[in-house]
Amino acid sequence: MHKILNSKLSVRLSILIGKHMPRKMGAWIIKAFSSILGSSKNLDLTTAVRSNQNVVSGGTLSDRELVQRTKQVLSHAGHCYFDLYHYYDNPEKLDNIAPWSESMTDFLNYAQEEKGYLVVAPHLSNFDLVVARLVKGGFIGKVLSFPNPGSGYQLQNKIRESFGLGIVPLGDSSLEAEIVEYLKAGGVVATGVDRPVPGRKRRHHAEFFGRPSPLPLGYISTALAADVPIIVVAAYMGTDGKYGLRISKPITLNKYKNKLDDIILNAERVLKKVEEFIKLAPEQWLMFYPVWPDQMDGES
């Protein structure tokens, strides 16, 4: 299912719908599609969403409630993609759907300081659209992207580049060294923080919502190498249907007794703030991969 939804054809179709379809009609299609897809219990995507939401809720949601939550997540994802493709290249409409806020000003002030910051974000709501608004407001920075992206992801990265962002694929050691120097020189680099890494050794799992998870940890190594703080940011949709930004205070990383503790314990400090943001709007957490694979075993 992931391959279909992330294919170039699916992304192009989403762009076409988002750009040209009236919003009310788009909302009707999104509601119908998310209801049908969310009711399925045999798709890897919906199974992952239910599993993730079960952990986030502390196991308090019934099976029926998990199905409903899954529909909410898929519906929100549909609205986010529709709005992204509908508004990102229209400056006037972008200002309306993602109005400038105090938190955006705070973020821009950090970004314009002489020292660098590494920014991490969970897959909450319409992050790409909020970033487009930040760039329009004067933000300059780079984004670390998933290594070896498929055709659909490549197309999405081109859209991000159209905002004015520099996209740097992970996995190239020479580029990673450049990122460290960029941060040391006062640059701002953003990356995702909550997509699980397949095959990660158990000793390299970090605690997230009280359970070990194979989440990415490279951003901690990068921040330590550059000696820069980490800021957690998150997009969200308000009750008025408009998008906003949540932002943490800078997190200065600690030095522990050994390298593994430096990585894991600092990551868990960052992830605590990520948890706070997800708890504020769990139905807007658009993570379609199993963050806790052991939990998936219990779901199947």
At 155, is the pLDDT very low, low, confident or very high (cuts 50, 70, 90)? confident
Q: Are residues 186 and 69 in the same domain?
A: no
Average pLDDT (93-111) is 96
Question: Between these two residues, 107 and 150, which has the higher pLDDT value?
Answer: 107
Residue 10 sits in the same domain as residue 127: no
Mean pLDDT score, 229-246: 98
Shared domain for 41 and 130, answered yes or no, is: no
Q: CA dihedral in degrees (85, 87, 91, 95; nearest 10)?
A: -140
Answer yes or no: do 36 and 85 share one domain. Answer: yes
pLDDT of residue 11 exceeding 70:
no
Q: What is the pLDDT of residue 149?
A: 58
Please check the confidence at residue 287 and state whether its pLDDT lies above 70: yes
Tell me, letter by letter, the H, E, C secondary structure of 270-285: HHHHHHHHHHHCHHHE
- Ranked by mean pLDDT, the top range of 86-95, 145-154, 253-262 is 253-262
Q: Are residues 130 and 102 in the same domain?
A: yes
161-180, pLDDT tens digit by residue? 887 788 887 776 778 889 99
Report pLDDT for 297.
54
DSSP state for residue 294 in the 8-state scheme: H
Tokens of 199: 């095959």
Considering the domain architecture, whether residues 69 and 101 belong to the same structural domain is answered as no
Do 119 and 153 fall into the same domain?
yes
Domain shared by 67 and 199, yes or no: no
Radius of gyration of the chain (CA): 19
DSSP label at 124? B
Q: Is the pLDDT of residue 3 over 80?
A: no
User: In the structure, what pLDDT confidence band is assigned to residue 300 with cuts at 50, 70 and 90?
Assistant: very low
SS3 137: coil
Residues 209 and 154 occupy one common structural domain: yes
Task: Give pLDDT, residue 233.
Answer: 99
Residue 104: pLDDT above 50? Answer: yes
In the predicted structure, residue 9 carries a pLDDT above the cut 60: no
State whether 158 and 248 are in the same domain: yes
Model confidence pLDDT, tens digit, residues 61-80:
999 999 999 999 999 999 99
Question: To the nearest whole percent, how much of the chain has pLDDT over 90?
Answer: 66
Domain enclosing residue 198, as ranges: 97-282
Domain CATH number, residue 167: 3.40.1010.10
84 & 107 share domain: no
Q: What is the pTM of this model?
A: 0.91
**Number of structural domains in the chain:** 2
Predicted confidence (pLDDT) at residue 2 exceeds the cutoff of 70: no
Q: What is the pLDDT of residue 57?
A: 96
